[in-house]
Amino acid sequence: MKNIREKLSLVAQTPSDFTGLPTSDPRSPLLFPYRSTRQPDDIPILWRLTHEAVAGTLQPDTFNRALEIGNVGLSKLTMGLFWINADLYLALNSKNVAYLSELGFPDAAEIVSLETYQATIERARTFAPSFTALSHAAWVSGGPVLPPDRFPLQELQETTASSRAEFSRLTDLGDVQAAKPFMQQTQAKLHNRFGSLLKATVRQSQPKALVVREDTRYTGGKIFAVRVAFQDRSRSGGKGLYFGNLVISVESDSETQANTLMALFGLAHGVDSMGRDTVRLALQKPAAMERVLSALRAVYDLPTSPQLTIVKEVWSGPDFTLTGRADPELEKALHTYAVSVGKPRKLEVLVRVPAEALISAEYPDTMAAVIGYLDGLAAAIDEVVRDMENDDAIEVQPVVPLTVQPQPLHPLNVILYGPPGTGKTYSVARLALERLDPDFLSGERTRQELQDRLTQLQAEGRAVFTTFHQNYAYEDFIEGIKPVPAPDGSGGVTYALVPGILKRLVERASAPVLSGAFSDLNPDGQVWKISLDGTAGSSSTREYCLKHGEARIGYEQVGRFDEAVTLSGAPPKAGFTPEAPARPF
């Protein structure tokens, strides 16, 4: 731009800040088509458009013809007009169009002629003092310029009703592939339209402790709802101390929640980034407890009395309705909460804003009171935690550690990912041996040695190498009913429940581990259990049988251990001699 300024002998200084200035996609910056597809009058039309825009006398035939030129389009065309004369022309690029949609102007990009473009321009003027301010707000703040004077509840009801009807139609047809995306798209539209209005209301209240999260869209899969979420301003870069939500829906199983805005403030349910139960530790100081109680009791100008819920593992009593008066039972519950270090942390305060308050002229004041109340709770938590962290004299109690099982040296579940040829299969042998035979890796091993050892483990049934191809199914991996040849050799087929690869590995891993070598043990042999004289604690029959190598099965004939075959089918070891001949009992 400096070179252009010097080339054209311009007096104005070179801009240094381009924030909010609409720009074209650098992959397709041309405002005219290539020569091979260009019409003879394309370039002259664009020059004529430029002269008319500078003079502010844009003609319908010029604009309409420019809109038809290939490689131009509405976005580039209106951006060019904005660059030429920002006082008269609005850029309808993606940022501005999305921003106007948030402000309740969803059809801003539906331009077919200069007449419709001028109508859009006139309507857009009502949202900002200038098009440069509107463009800057769209690119920087992302929030509405003007907050609403009342919430458009009827519009939300109508939008939700039509969307619910379409979603039910898709669901009744069994078209799940269309129903789920439709739900997601509708939630996005509701957020763009109504969520932005809630954000504007929050910004107008200027909270000092709470900050609106960027990603606040409601993603529940059962109802259509609008949500704005808060987070801890002072700890937004890490694990926050608390959270907040504004949620509104015209659909609910409870009549007290439908068409009601639910304003929620709660403590984060886990420990903080330092591994401590920070808020509980802070509340153990009397001054900190009184500070938080004062914030809870500051319920002035709220549309309804807040409800406080403490996790049942800490307080088994009912929820509390917060008033401006002292409540000994509430103080007792909070003291119990403060000393329950290491237990679940759920503590939430809910304020309901009914439909009549949403659509009344007092809506801005009502929401200012609600958001101010939530922000006051957040500020109180910030203050008591900050005081605790600055007070070296406080006795910090550690979080009670949970009893956990020791973790293995290496993670048992590993996913190797990458394009073909990057060494995934090559790395499998070493990763498997790290878990199955780490001693083998104590010295330097060649690739072939690693592969040979893995092959040996596969032969022992301790490792399996499989490929999840397109036909691989649950039956192959877990278990399934499969055809097997008839045992009588007739050529027929029977069906059996056959374990898959994973189940076979689990069964092997579940078997008891025995030390020592058992050369004559057949792991697939059939084992018969024989109870010698029942379960009596002392039995002469059992003692005799064990001493003489006999097995009795309820008949007078006796089976001799020394005459039996081993589980592997081999004869018994030499040297086995019963101490006495067999005899019936």
Which amino acid is residue 125, in one-letter code? R
Q: Which two tokens stand for residue 335?
A: 């003291």
Taking the C-alpha atoms of residue 455 and residue 465, their distance in angstroms, rounded to an integer, is 10
- Quick check: helix, strand or coil at residue 378? helix
Q: Which two tokens stand for residue 158?
A: 């109508």
Taking the C-alpha atoms of residue 420 and residue 425, their distance in angstroms, rounded to an integer, is 10
Taking the C-alpha atoms of residue 250 and residue 223, their distance in angstroms, rounded to an integer, is 9
**Burial class of 1 by CB neighbour count within 10 A (0 to 12, 13 to 18, 19+):** exposed
Q: Which two tokens stand for residue 527?
A: 């084992």
**Least confident piece of the model among 248-257, 280-289, 556-565:** 556-565
- Confidence class for position 424, pLDDT limits 50, 70, 90: confident
Q: Residue 144: what pLDDT?
A: 44
**Burial class of 171 by CB neighbour count within 10 A (0 to 12, 13 to 18, 19+):** middle
352 or 240: which leads in pLDDT: 352
- Whether the pLDDT of residue 364 is over 70: the answer is yes
- Whether the pLDDT of residue 571 is over 60: the answer is no
Taking the C-alpha atoms of residue 352 and residue 263, their distance in angstroms, rounded to an integer, is 6
Which residue in this structure is represented by tokens 């597809």?
37
What's CA 477's distance to the chain center, in Å?
28
**Residue range 69-86: mean pLDDT, rounded:** 85
For residue 323, give every residue at least 6 positions away whose Cβ sits within 8 Å of its Cβ, in sequence order, or none.
297, 299, 305
55-69, 128-142, 169-183, 510-524: range with highest mean pLDDT: 55-69
- Please give the mean pLDDT across all residues of the chain: 77
- Torsion angle of C-alpha atoms 363, 369, 370, 372, degrees rounded to 10: 140
3-state helix, strand, coil in the chain (%, to 5): 40, 10, 50
Which residue in this structure is represented by tokens 């509340």?
283
- Three-state secondary structure of 308-348: EEECCCCCCCCCEECCCCCCHHHHHHHHHHHHCCCCCCCEE
Residue 482 main-chain phi, psi, to 5 deg: -130, 150
For residue 190, give every residue at least 6 positions away whose Cβ sits within 8 Å of its Cβ, in sequence order, or none.
156, 159, 160, 218, 224, 225, 226
Taking the C-alpha atoms of residue 102 and residue 226, their distance in angstroms, rounded to an integer, is 13
